[in-house]
Amino acid sequence: MNRLGARDHRVQRLRWLLRRSSVRETEHAFVAEGVRIVEAAMDAGAPVESLFVAADWRSSAPVAAIVGRASRTGLAVFELGPGIMERVADTVSPQSVCAVVEAVDLGLDELLSRSGPSAERDVVLVCVDVRDPGNLGAVLRIAGATSVSGVICCSGTVDPFNPKVVRASAGALFRVPLVTDVMPAEALGSLAALGYRCWATVPQGGTDYAVANLDGPTAFVLGNEGAGLPDEVVAGLDGSITIPMADGTESLNVAMTAAVLCFDAVRRRRSVS
């Protein structure tokens, strides 16, 4: 196993992949940090390019197990010199392992080719200008927990390969079909053409989600944390859906909204199975 110094080009690349979305976009790669996330990537068969471990990796049984697994599959493993992981990592308390992974997003056509009228129970989440990495990561985690057909991150939404999003997704990023960097009009128009009923999620004034028609292919459109969905987006959808709350209660955040709607859609589909 090679030990890398701070100035090694592979270490420099690791640092930039963690810090710059432009580099992630150009290289079509990102960094997964920590035992749980790296294991999730390997379990899902994600295209892991290389593995990096801290100088003290042998003192961690879980990291040693990952190194052994990587060695058996021929995956390149690099040991970082003392203190380098702490300088490179995106977290305050860095873990002893991270991996460079090829981006796992799909094209819109590729996602939709799996969907459509024949897939009557499809649910898709569409994120329009969702900016908070924690929120988007939680949306992906909810999508994974409810087995939705995909998540579409429209242009303006935070980079789903941002290290904070990757961590917040708790590994769901590697299991959920994901589309990135598509304009809302293109995504929603394509969904509508396939027979999806597209619902705008709004804090008030929409149809109560408990009585809304969620049969057949359904898309929930989630907006910006502060501004919500643009009026022109809402106007082009099939309807608006609201989660009623007690008077004086603030609206739910994006991730909580996704959780309520996705789990309700799953419940309804199970009831007719």
Share the mean pLDDT of the chain. 91
Residues 266 and 144 both lie in one domain: yes
Q: Which whole-number Å values give the CA distances from 201 to 18, 36, 71, 125, 217, in the listed order? A: 32, 32, 47, 11, 16
Query: Looking at the 3D structure of the chain, how many domains does it have?
Result: 2
More confident residue, 115 or 219: 219
State whether 98 and 120 are in the same domain. no
Give the whole-angstrom CA distance, residue 155 versus residue 148: 21
DSSP-assigned letter for residue 76: -
Asked if residue 266 and residue 182 are part of one domain, the reply reads: yes
Q: Are residues 33 and 161 in the same domain?
A: no
Block residue for tokens 């892991």: 48
Helix, strand, coil tally for the chain in percent (to 5): 40, 20, 40
Whether residues 126 and 250 fall in one domain: yes
Same domain membership, residue 45 and residue 131: no
Domain boundary among 43, 72, 102: 102
- Coil, strand or helix at 175: coil
Residue 150: give its domain's CATH number: 3.40.1280.10
Give the residue from 102, 127, 153 where a domain finishes: 102
Q: How far is CA 4 from the centre of its chain?
A: 30
- What pLDDT is recorded for position 159? 97
For residue 180, give its domain range. Answer: 108-271
CA–CA–CA angle 95, 45, 135 (5° rounding):
55
SS3 call for 228:
strand
**pLDDT at 18 (0 to 100):** 95
Whether residues 145 and 14 fall in one domain: no
Do 47 and 71 reside in the same domain of the chain? yes
Beta-carbon contacts of residue 251 (< 8 Å; ≥ 6 apart): 203, 204, 245
Judge whether 221 and 188 are in contact, CB under 8 Å: yes
Predicted pLDDT of residue 113: 83
- What type of residue sits at position 32? A
The identity of residue 130, as a single letter, is: V
Final residue of a domain: which of 59, 74, 102?
102
Tell me if 212 sits within 8 A of 264, measured CB to CB. no
Task: Provide the CATH number for the domain around residue 26.
Answer: 3.30.1330.30
The enclosing H or E element of 266 equals helix 254-271
Q: List the Cα angle 181/24/148 in 5-degree steps.
A: 45
Identify the pLDDT of residue 119: 46
Q: Which of 214, 222, 220 is nearest to 267 (CA)?
A: 214
pLDDT value of residue 246: 85
Is 45 in the same domain as 126? no
pLDDT per residue as tens digits for the range 203-257: 889 999 999 999 889 999 999 988 889 999 999 999 999 999 888 777 788 999 9
Q: Which residue has the tokens 């304009």?
A: 183
Write down the pTM of the prediction: 0.92
**C-alpha dihedral (159, 165, 167, 168), degrees to nearest 10:** -160
Name the one residue in this structure whose structure tokens are 């022109």.
232
Q: Residues 205, 81: one domain?
A: no
Q: Is the pLDDT of residue 108 over 50?
A: yes
94 and 116 both lie in a single domain: no
Residues with Cβ within 8 Å of residue 168, at least 6 apart in sequence? 133, 134, 136, 137, 138, 140, 141
Identify whether residues 129 and 227 lie together within a single domain: yes
